[in-house]
Chain A
Amino acid sequence: MKKNASGKHVQFSSSPVLSVHLPMWRSKLVVFLLFIAFLALAVRAFWIQGPGNSFYQKQGENRYQRTIELPATRGKIMDRNGVMLATSLPVRAIWAIPEDVPDDIDADKLKQLGRLLSMNPKDLHLKLGEEKGFVYIKRQVPNDVADKVAALGIPGIYQRTEYERFYPEGEITAHLVGFTNIEDEGQEGIELAEQKTLVGVPGSRRVIKDRLGRAIEDVDELAIPRNGQDLTLSLDSKIQYITYIALKNAVEGHHAAAGAAMVIDARTGEVLALANYPTYNPNDRSRLTGEQLRNRVLTDSFEPGSIMKPISISLALDLHRVSPDTLVNTNGRFTLDGATITDDSNFGTLTVGGVIQKSSNIGTTKIAMQLRPEEMWNMFTSVGFGQAPKIGFPGAVAGRLRPWKDWRRIEQATMAYGYGISVSLFQLAHAYTIFAHDGQLIPVSIFKTNGQTVSGPQVISPATAAEMRAMLQAVVSGGGTARDDASVPGYSVGGKTGTAYKHTPSGYDKSKYRASFVGIAPMSDPRIIVAVSIDSPTTGSHFGGQVAGPAFSAIAGDTLRTLNIAPDIPVKPMVVTASTQTAASGVTR
């Protein structure tokens, strides 16, 4: 029905049933609602295209942008000649999402996986049965093995590249270099001390990837990757090997509990070798013990015994309380404040040089008693005793040096010949730089320096140092405590033996010794300082000269030749030369 021009309803049908009367406002309402709906669509479209598009933008970006991890490697550790001591190589971590691994997986494949990863099938089943979203099956798997694992095509098992630390020199440099854990964090030695320098910081960046998965555009660099810095140690791997072998032979030859040795360049203060025995292989740390891990050179402090005598006596020489020719009566026994001091035998009257050569406790005591406790304490402190060496190595001990005000007279006497004071082998070797370097205590470094001769505080005068060198040389010559044992063919060497009783909670154990030797070579122009200490030798002699002396001789001789230092004393030639060959052939004819 429709209205005509006159406003009357139009009859569309003649049927009265079909005749309806609709009010006008209803059609207007429908038009209005349609208008509102279109308007809402327009507003929504405007909102999505304009201010409210961040959600869609993000969803879109998620579909074509990817964050790429930029790996960074840990720095290498090298010796002074660039020989690799520690390096990181890529390996793989095998991981799984257990719920993605099908229950009906081929048993043969699982067996092969277990065999490839050297894992018990039971352990493998346990790992894959864990109710976790992520589980490591095995970490640090070699790449070739990981490739074989990938070839098995087991669903739910994935791989990730990671790095493993390798130590080519193995047990020889273990104590100085140290090692890292599975997370690439330093645990011991330089690896621990220089963690911040060595560690690499991985980076990441956002890129746009195409449908083939290729990065086609850089969006943003989220973090810049930084590789760890390489470190060059002062160590010489050849000298380290020489030192290690000599030490090992000494410890095993005397059935000792342990041993430690080190070599210092007397000009630059660089540590050329630092070895301990027993040791461990840092590439296989499955059965490590505390004994193997101990870096005895730096972390063990002990009463040095007679090795202290040159330090005490050099102070008396420097203060002109005695001269090298001063005579000291060492007859019999010497009693001080009720305590008796003895020598191994009756040496009679000795010069100051003789006191060092024969290692007389009585002679040293008589000389030391001419010094004030404060003077001795200052001397010991000046050469680094009682303070942890500042070389940036973890666990380096300070030793024990009590304040001089607490010293009794007998303690002053015993300290003069190395009892009642404890030091590390590193401190001893460092202290001996005053004799090798004309009275200066030079700084010691475990990192390679520029090779220049260094200087340090003047502890004693150059003249005193020269006098003491002559006395130390006498120790290794006829009549000395290390005659024949510590001598080096072709080179003038000198040093001091030390044989000390071991201190136990119940006092001194007179059946256990620490045999030590600290020496300098060549004496005409000192180039190296070698310190050797053998803990509890049980077979053969227990004296420093006989136990540690031969190790010193082997280390010093081979080190001097390795450093291409010419002999400074005559050598009996054994080489068949052209002239001797001619002579020999003449005789046979």
Chain B
Amino acid sequence: MSRLNTLLLLVLIACALSTVAATNRQRELFIQLGRLQSDAHQMAQARAELQYQQGALSKTTLIEHVATDQLKMQPVTPGRTQYLVANVAADAEANTSLDSTSAVTELANGVASAGVAASGAVPGVRR
């Protein structure tokens, strides 16, 4: 009987220690979870801030200012745009619409794009 009691006492001590260890582990994990959630929140805020900065830096006003003042670019006009006629068969296969008619725009000081075939005055519009 005393052996059984000893055994049960040992089992009880083992269970108690295991419970303490599990509780401790749970708390450690919980602290880690809290820290990671805090990190996630901070990262979300940093992302929002970066998106804002990206938005501020890619403002159309700013881009136009840089393009015209610093890069000396000129606004595109239809007369200075070459329109490429897309391959009709390939285009039909792709089943695309107007967007397949690529517009090659000349922005920088009217310099011609090499390799662009002049399609004439009437652009290739397929409806």
Contacts and interface: CB of A to CB of B under 8 A. Distances in A.
Contacts of A73: 44, 48
A126 interface: no
Contact of B61 (A172, A215, A525, A577): A172
A565 interface: yes
Given A83-B55, A87-B48, A525-B127, A577 B79 contact: no
Interface residues of B, number: 49
Interface of A: 71, 73, 76, 83-84, 87-90, 166, 168-170, 172, 210, 214-218, 237-238, 241, 489-491, 524-525, 557, 561, 564-568, 570-581
Nearest to B78: A490
A572 B79 contact: yes
A215 B77 contact: no
Contacts of B45: 89-90
B72 interface: no
Given A89-B52, A567-B123, A578 B79 contact: no
Interface in B67-125: 76-83, 98-99, 101, 103, 105-106, 110-112, 114-118, 120-125
A216 B103 contact: no
16 contacts: A84-B51, A172-B60, A210-B27, A557-B78, A566-B123, A566-B124, A567-B78, A567-B83, A568-B125, A571-B79, A571-B81, A571-B121, A573-B118, A577-B112, A577-B116, A577-B117
A575 B99 contact: no
B31 interface: yes
Nearest to A88: B48
A169 B51 contact: no
B23 to A, nearest CB: 9
Contacts of B110: 574-576
B101 A566 contact: yes
Interface in B13-44: 26-27, 30-31, 34, 41, 44
B99 A571 contact: no
Contacts, number: 123
Nearest to B101: A566
B30 A87 contact: no
B119 to A, nearest CB: 9
A238 B121 contact: no
A575 B106 contact: yes
Contacts of B77: 489, 574
A524 B52 contact: no
Contacts of B99: 564
B17 to A, nearest CB: 19
Contacts of B49: 89
A577 B82 contact: yes
Contact of A561 (B60, B103, B124): B103
Contact of A169 (B59, B76, B121): B59
A575 B112 contact: yes
Given A168-B59, A241-B61, A573 B27 contact: no
A184 to B, nearest CB: 14
Contact of B98 (A71, A214, A564, A570): A564
B82 A573 contact: yes
Contacts of B30: 215-218
Contacts of B114: 578
B12 interface: no
Given A169-B59, A489-B79, 14 more contacts: A71-B41, A90-B45, A168-B59, A489-B78, A561-B78, A561-B81, A564-B98, A566-B124, A571-B81, A573-B80, A574-B77, A576-B111, A577-B112, A578-B114
B125 A566 contact: yes
Contacts of B9: none
A106 B71 CA distance: 53
Contacts of A83: 55, 58
A237 B60 contact: yes
B78 A571 contact: yes
A556 B112 CA distance: 25
A581 B121 contact: no
Contacts of B58: 83
Contact of A215 (B34, B60, B123): B34
B118 A89 contact: no
A173 to B, nearest CB: 11
A566 B64 CA distance: 23
B56 interface: yes
B33 to A, nearest CB: 9
Contacts of A565: 98
A224 B94 CA distance: 49
A166 B59 CA distance: 14
Nearest to A564: B99
Given A489-B78, A572-B79, A574-B80, A87 B31 contact: no
A573 B30 CA distance: 69
Nearest to A79: B55
A168 B62 CA distance: 11
Contact of B34 (A214, A557, A564, A579): A214
Contacts of B123: 490, 566-567, 571
A302 B4 CA distance: 99
B22 to A, nearest CB: 13
A99 B82 CA distance: 74
Nearest to A560: B78
Q: Which 3 residue pairs spanning A and B have beta carbons closest together?
A: A168-B55, A490-B78, A574-B79
A567 B76 CA distance: 14
B123 to A, nearest CB: 5
B44 to A, nearest CB: 8
Contacts of A573: 79-80, 82, 118, 120-121
Which of B64, B78, B101, B123 neighbours the largest number of chain A CB atoms within 10 Å of its CB? Answer: B78
B98 A578 contact: no
Which of A218, A490, A573 neighbours the largest number of chain B CB atoms within 10 Å of its CB? Answer: A573
